[in-house]
Amino acid sequence: MLTKLARLISVARGERPADLILANAKVVNTFTGEIDSGNVAIYGDRIAGVGNYQQAKQVLDLTGKYLAPGLINGHTHLESSMLDVGQYVRAVVPRGTSALVTDLHEIANVCGLEGIRYVLNCARRLPLDLFLMAPSCVPATHLETAGASISPEDIRQILRWPETIGLGEVMNFPGVIGGDASVLSKVDLARGKVIDGHAPGVSGKDLAAYIAAGILSDHESVSLSEARDKLRQGMFIMIREGSSEKNLDALLPLVTDKTFKRCFFVVDDRNCADLLRDGDIDAVVRKAIRRGLDPVRAIQMATINTAEYFRLDKLGAVTPGYLANLIVLNDLPNLQTDMVFYRGRLVAREGKPLFSLPQLGDSGVTNTVNIKPFPIEALRLSTSAETNLVIEVVPGQIITRKKQERAKIVAGAIVPDTDRDILKLVVVERHKATGNIGLGLVSGFGLKKGALASSIAHDSHNIIAVGTNDEDIFTAIKEIERLKGGLVIVAGGKVLASLSLPIAGLLSQEPLEDVVAKLEKLEQLAKDLGTKLPSPFATLSFLALPVMPELRLTDLGLVDVNEFKLIS
């Protein structure tokens, strides 16, 4: 009796019929950058061959449509979609995403290994290849309070899991450069595997030290010169275009005939509304084509380049022996997806999923909001200085700037100054009921009244709120507590709208369309209250991230990221 491999070879030789032939296709050849014509024979979950194949149990005539490998999202945090795993897959697969690489450090910062296992268990029953990078920084730093910690021994365990292909972004770049033993021990455990980087603004000998540790890539470059420096020193450059971090326009000139094999597209963070309205990695490919990149090269940078970097040797091309993860495109420049095949099975057509979502029981990762009770007076911000530090939002980026401003003082306390767009920022610890509350000032939100609050605050995901007065901020935080996680808008002491996120305080249990409708209502209300930011909750979520320059606020206080220390 023939083995499966022997039968695949027999189909490839034309000796036995294929299970499926996709006939009359224009095949995107990601190895040569050309468009080939022919029939693609599929046996089981594999491609048997491309060429003059005729015999099959089923023949599907593509009538000259384009056939490309399924897209690979090389760096994303699916938690930022705010969708539970099934709804996330339902959002991205019909648009052509067949595989993603993620370290799941968002849910891990809240729930540890249990959170990672929850996502992996859900994904196993869905038509998407999820590859795990062991989260290297849980917590990201010592400058905030996380809900869990992943030790070097945990990393050793995760690296043995079948889904794990490497070590996730090493965000504690000062720890690497300074030779921190705990950080380096995790890097050592992943020696020989792919190790992703996170090095915003790192240059010179510090960058050399970071690369010398064995770190291979970076997705944090915001300028062409920064990305070019990293490329010259041997890094792979992930060109990021997410909901908050938009670097494609700045970095696309980096892509030339000489460099393109060292570059690939990622989204990093993309919210549910963008997934529904615009797409996932397909949206990045389309935008790159609109900016003048050759369509085949754009597809290469979302397929074979990504696969080769992560050593996924059966993904990223339409060729014999590779997994039959394929997309049928009506046209190439617009990347309009007609059909999606996952391991030889049709799983989506005309943007609609053809698969059902598994029924999930108790997730085991709920009830994660645990706040020590506090009075509104705890939000009072006092000062004796003539000027105070303010976090300045940079539109379209997740970096911030540090500036000094003369604050508005009332009754001996700093109060928001809406005329000058200086608002109060608050971070409340929500994992261990420590009572930690960080207080600071932020500019760039533009709110004229009310407050926004969220239990999504990268990476430790404490509750973060911005507002024009303490009463609305306090009300918003208490509503987050009642919801057990979510997004909230308050004005005049009343909750105007909310989105419940009960899974780890990060993910909704509702359908994609309902989550998007509620998010868009929240964002519209935020605009009504004065903000001009396109994604105010996404921007808010990054203001507590103490590994991104220059100034951040955590539950422990203001953080000077460049100095990597708390500001007293």
pLDDT at 384: 78
Phi-psi region of 519 (alpha: psi -120 to 50; beta: other; left: phi over 0): alpha
DSSP per-residue letters across 189-243? HTTTSEEEE--TT--HHHHHHHHHTT--EE----SHHHHHHHHHTT-EEEEEB-S
* Inside any domain, residue 329: no
Q: What is the pLDDT of residue 1?
A: 67
Q: Within this chain, do residues 309 and 389 fall inside the same structural domain, yes or no?
A: no
Q: Burial level of 209, CB count in 10 A (0-12/13-18/19+)?
A: middle
Domain boundary among 271, 290, 319: 319
Residue 286: CATH number of its domain:
3.20.20.140
Boundary of a domain, candidates 319, 337, 352? 319
- Residues 121 and 267 grouped into a single domain: yes
Domain count, the chain: 2
Domain membership of residue 416 (yes or no) is yes
* pLDDT value of residue 360: 63
Same domain, 264 and 184: yes
Are 411 and 482 contained in the same domain?
yes
- In a domain, residue 29? The reply is no
**Are residues 313 and 427 both part of a single domain?**
no
Please say which residue of 319, 340, 365 terminates a domain: 319
* Concatenated DSSP letters of 299-361: HHTTTHHHHHHTT-TTSSS-STTSB--EEEES-TTTT-EEEEEETTEEEEETTEE-SPPPP--
Task: Check whether residue 252 and residue 394 sit in a common domain.
Answer: no
The answer to whether residue 12 is domain-embedded is no
Handedness of CA 551, 216, 239, 347 (dihedral sign): negative
| Residue 173 domain flag | yes
In a domain, 342, yes or no: no
φ/ψ (deg, to 5) at 98: -110, -15
Q: Is residue 406 part of a domain?
A: yes
Model confidence pLDDT, tens digit, residues 374-414: 999 999 998 878 889 999 999 878 889 999 999 999 988 99
Residues 136 and 277 in one domain: yes
φ, ψ (nearest 5 deg) of residue 301: -80, 0
Domain extent, residue 238, equals 70-319
- 422 and 298 in one domain? no
Q: 252 and 147, same structural domain?
A: yes
Q: Point out the residues of the chain with pLDDT beneath 50.
A: none
- Do 89 and 217 fall within a single domain? yes
Indicate whether 88 and 187 sit together in one domain. yes
pLDDT at residue number 120: 95
362 inside domain: no
Q: What is the pLDDT of residue 364?
A: 76
Length of the chain: 568
Same-domain status, 289 and 398: no
**pLDDT of res. 245:** 83
